[in-house]
Amino acid sequence: MEYDPNRIIAYNTFYKLWQQLTPYIKFQPSATDLCDTCEAFKTDIKFANEDEKENLKFEYTKHQTDVERERSHYNKIIEKSKNDLSITHICYDWAQSVAAPFSPQQVGSIFFKSPFVIHIFGICKTDYGDNNQLNYTIGEDELPEGTSKKGANTTLNMVYDFLQKIDHVGKKDLYVTCDNCPGQNKNNLSLWFWSWLAMMGWYENIYINFMIPGHTKFICDAKFGSIKKVYKTSHINTVDDVEEVINNSSEYNKSIRYKNGSGWKWQDFGSMLKDYFRTLPNIKKYHHFRFSSSQNDIGIVYFSKKSGGEEYSYNLLKNTGFDKNSQRNVLEVVPLTDERKKYLYNNIRQHVDAPHRDTLCPNPN
């Protein structure tokens, strides 16, 4: 048979050659993290001289070892929550915000405009291996006043509401996994909140695990992926449509709406706790925190830099007069400004289907 240089090889042949000649070249899976630290190491190693390259490789290997240890810790907690009925494990995160209106066949002009924004905050419980996620679906006119839009107080409100909704009777330990975002999760208000919750005696022990920056892909992202997949092929006019997308995205995804406080109340944890608790120095250095409900541990946080690492303690409570049952102020939502209402009416309304225009973009007058 005469050799044909233009002949196309079969897929199986191509695959075998790939495995034999370039097995180190792989397509990045959709769930793979893209870490700034890892990418910086790879670039530096590529262009470093031989002496520098060895040091960089050592540091890069150390970083990867830390990542693998923490990922193993996270996986062990999930596995434990499947079989040990005495514990609860939750993960939580904010999803990328979505917009209304939205259409798979979007007109070009709306690309340069600012549609109505809808925020999604997901909390997933891994007990018994069910991995059910409750998604708090919030319009841009439903966020609490006096706090950062997606800040710690807003985040903790939904975590608190979720913990109230699930059955924690008979549960001994609570494990919490979240990312390192200082504005939402790794901050002193969060530590005060968990210390207060331990005082309330809902759980004997509360363990908080912050994942290593750049390697924070976890179970919530899979649930958000299911939502995004359905959203991209859906016709959206209102927040109700987004809620329907969430509920239809997976049997494990469910939406809850604020709806004038009928879904949950916005409470001011910051004003309740700030005068009675002190800040933990160098909080960003540590990834693991533990709280106990025992009388001797009231107000104490135990913390370490890594899973299984040396543990330190610090008394967060600075005022013995703190009443764990003190009333919390209920926060009102921040309505849209007149300017924003006019913008939606004048620039977005025409892109909304006629029956829904007065719902999403009513006449501001």
Encode pLDDT of 193-235 as tens digits. Answer: 999 999 999 999 999 999 988 898 899 999 999 999 999 999 9
Domain range for 222 is 69-334
Q: Position of tokens 């996620």?
A: 133
In a domain, 60, yes or no: no
Residues 6+ away with beta carbon under 8 Å from 29: none
Do the beta carbons of residue 94 and residue 119 sit within 8 Å? yes
- Global confidence as pTM: 0.88
Instruction: Tell me if 222 is assigned to some domain.
Output: yes
So what's the pLDDT on residue 106?
78
Question: What are the pLDDT digits (tens) for 253-289?
Answer: 999 999 999 999 999 999 999 999 999 999 999 999 9
Given phi > 0 = left and psi -120 to 50 = alpha, else beta, which region is 121?
beta
Residue of 119, 163, 117 lying closest to 264 (CA atoms): 163
| Token couple for 124 | 């997933």
- Beta strands in the chain, from DSSP E residues, in sequence order: 87-94, 98-100, 116-125, 132-139, 173-178, 205-210, 253-257, 288-292, 300-304, 312-315
Read off the pLDDT band of 53 (50, 70, 90).
confident
Please report whether residue 116 resides in a domain: yes
Number of domains in the chain: 1
